[in-house]
Amino acid sequence: MSKFVKLFSLVVIVALTSTSDLFAQDAGSNGLAVMGKAIGAGLAVIGAGIGLGSIGKGVTESMARQPEIAGSIQTGGLIIAAMLEGAALIAIILAVFGAA
């Protein structure tokens, strides 16, 4: 079983077990909307984690190859990581608080 399938299964299980509104019997709650919000937020976090991992890998390899410019490489990596985190945070906010 691939890592993606395992990770996606874990996200679905967490989404199904952690949302208290999902199985609510109230007329005003929409369980599928809550599940969609949880899956959307989970996918945003997974994407950010994959992106940050690849940034860290690239920065580490670049600093190992050219240690004399390690400071500028690290600064560039931190700026890109901050921009990625900002995009992931916006995606999570839109997934959780967006219109459904």
Domain definitions of the chain by residue range: 3-97
Q: How far apart are CA 11 and CA 87, in angstroms?
A: 20
59-96 residue pLDDT tens: 999 999 999 999 999 999 999 999 999 998 988 888 88
54-68 residue pLDDT tens: 999 999 999 999 999
Residues 27-36: what's their mean pLDDT?
70
The CATH code of the domain at 3-97 is 1.20.20.10
**pTM exceeds 0.85:** no
Burial class of 42 by CB neighbour count within 10 A (0 to 12, 13 to 18, 19+): buried
Give φ, ψ of 56 to 5 degrees.
-60, -40
Residue 11: predicted pLDDT: 75
What's the chain's average pLDDT?
81
Q: Supply 96's token pair.
A: 């959780």
